[in-house]
Amino acid sequence: MLVLKQRLTVATFHNLRVKDIYKETDDCSVVTLDIPEELQDDFAYRQGQHLTLRAEINGEKVRRNYSLCSGPSEAEWRVAVKLIPEGKFSTFVNSELKTGDYLEALAPSGRFGVEVNPDKAKNYLFFAAGSGITPILSMIKTHLKQEPHSTCKLFYVNKTAKSIIFKEELEQLRNAYFGRLEIYYFLTRERRDIELFNGRFDDERMEVLCKTFIDIPDTSEVFLCGPEDMVNYVSEYLVNAGLPKELIHFELFVKGLSEEDKARAERLSQQNVEGVNLTIIDGGKEFHFTMTKDYDNILDAALGAGADLPFACKGGVCSTCKCKVLEGTVEMKVNYALEEDDLDQDFVLSCQAVPLSEKVKVDFDV
């Protein structure tokens, strides 16, 4: 029997009014949320962070994570929601949600994005595909505005010219920051005169990009957001071309598990966790309970015990559920969100973390 000594503090959802909603493309709606004055400090965010949104759809509470596409200095909270076939939340937003309705949201979180330093002259590279532009747009706006000596280059893949999300806003930025923002559009389902811009990133294209537009030794940071195969491919190409791995940051759309991930996930789902003593630090308080065999991962076990810890995707992608292991051993089934330096500091995704030792202590406050 699970014993939770004290109900855990709550990752609070706030009911927020939809200030504006418009169609950016045929299948992508942009939603601006009204953040009341008293919540604005809690909702302060850094470029590249995301919101966890929740709505009741056909009697079911559905939550999803969306990157903010506005920039922190705009004092706006805007997300773009691309319609995914059979996606409950994205269908709801794209077909039902209207101005004046309410959505629930957790305060922004996420670790995509780097510190802004107005004194530095950095050269940023961005690779995005489709709705992967959302955190990237926030970063581009922020770095251009707040780092007057920095430059940005964006390589952006879409299916057709009509499906390019935020084309107009990007073009306005290119004009406003003339000479500091370069944008290269790549289309996969429409042909244009210059062959280089027809299709996805591949060896041939990357070779030309690295010879013509990208100066590897002069690159300060690279951000990638899009499907897993694109992110992995471009990262690997740039590392092989001499770019230090630690300069590459990414956020993935996950398609499916690799054979290795599947095998590990399968092995860990067989792990006997019954009787594991779990201690959770959240909101400055310690809570203890014993795991049963109902759940294999720390997040589900804690939620099952009545906790209200933060989570969104439960798929190892968003990092909303991140915590630090202070005691004991855990292993993650999959990890698409944490980078090497997070792992070195013992951070794990609690939705994926399976205890391997009899006692485990994790901290959600760090």
Binding characters for ligand FES, 262-301, by CB under 6 A (x = yes): ----------------------------------------
316 binds ligand FES per the rule CB under 6 A: yes
Q: Quick one: which of 266, 333, 319, 252 has its CA closest to 109? A: 319
The answer to whether 238 touches 216, Cβ cutoff 8 Å, is: yes
Distance CA 33, CA 340 (A): 34
Contacts of 263 (CB under 8 A, 6+ apart): none
325 binds ligand FES per the rule CB under 6 A: no
Binding characters for ligand FES, 226-245, by CB under 6 A (x = yes): --------------------
Stretch that binds ligand FES, among 126-134, 284-292, 314-322, 355-363 (CB under 6 A): 314-322
Taking the complex as a whole, how short is the minimal distance between the CB of residue 293 and ligand FES, in angstroms?
Answer: 21
Report the DSSP beta bridge partners of residue 64.
Answer: 53
Query: Count residues contacting ligand FES (CB under 6 A)?
Result: 13
Stretch that binds ligand FES, among 81-89, 154-162, 189-197, 318-326 (CB under 6 A): 318-326
Binder among 97, 144, 252, 318 for ligand FES (CB under 6 A): 318
Write b or e for each residue in 45-58: b if 16 or more Cβ atoms lie within 10 A of its Cβ, otherwise e.
Answer: bbbbbbbbbbbeee
The answer to whether 147 touches 115, Cβ cutoff 8 Å, is: no
Q: Restricting to residues 191-210, name those near ligand FES by CB under 6 A.
A: none
Q: Quick one: which of 222, 203, 37 has its CA closest to 123? A: 222
Q: Which is nearer to ligand FES, 131 or 319 (CB)?
A: 319
311 binds ligand FES per the rule CB under 6 A: yes
Q: Which is nearer to ligand FES, 106 or 214 (CB)?
A: 106
What strands, in cross-sheet order, belong to the sheet with 14-25?
A: 60-67, 50-57, 102-105, 14-25, 28-34, 77-82
Phi first, then psi, for residue 154 (nearest 5°) are -115, 130
Binder among 139, 319, 355, 360 for ligand FES (CB under 6 A): 319
Q: Which is nearer to ligand FES, 252 or 351 (CB)?
A: 351
The token duo for 329 is: 């051993």
Q: Restricting to residues 62-101, name those near ligand FES by CB under 6 A.
A: none
Stretch that binds ligand FES, among 12-20, 78-86, 231-239, 308-316 (CB under 6 A): 308-316
The token duo for 9 is: 């503090």
50 binds ligand FES per the rule CB under 6 A: no
Helices (H), 192-297: 203-212, 228-240, 259-269
Q: Restricting to residues 328-347, name those near ligand FES by CB under 6 A.
A: 337
Binder among 145, 249, 314, 333 for ligand FES (CB under 6 A): 314
Q: Where are the beta strands (DSSP E) in the chain?
A: 14-25, 28-34, 50-57, 60-67, 77-82, 102-105, 123-129, 151-158, 181-187, 221-227, 248-253, 277-282, 285-290, 322-327, 330-332, 347-349, 353-355, 359-363
Query: 195-200: long-range contacts (C-beta < 8 A, 24 or more apart)?
Result: 200/157, 200/230
Stretch that binds ligand FES, among 179-187, 263-271, 313-321, 356-364 (CB under 6 A): 313-321
317 binds ligand FES per the rule CB under 6 A: yes
Binder among 67, 320, 333, 354 for ligand FES (CB under 6 A): 320
323 binds ligand FES per the rule CB under 6 A: no
Binder among 313, 325, 330, 362 for ligand FES (CB under 6 A): 313
The answer to whether 67 touches 134, Cβ cutoff 8 Å, is: yes
Q: Which is nearer to ligand FES, 45 or 177 (CB)?
A: 45
Phi first, then psi, for residue 218 (nearest 5°) are -95, 5
Stretch that binds ligand FES, among 10-18, 152-160, 274-282, 307-315 (CB under 6 A): 307-315
> Footprint of ligand FES on this chain (CB under 6 A)?
311-314, 316-321, 337, 349, 351
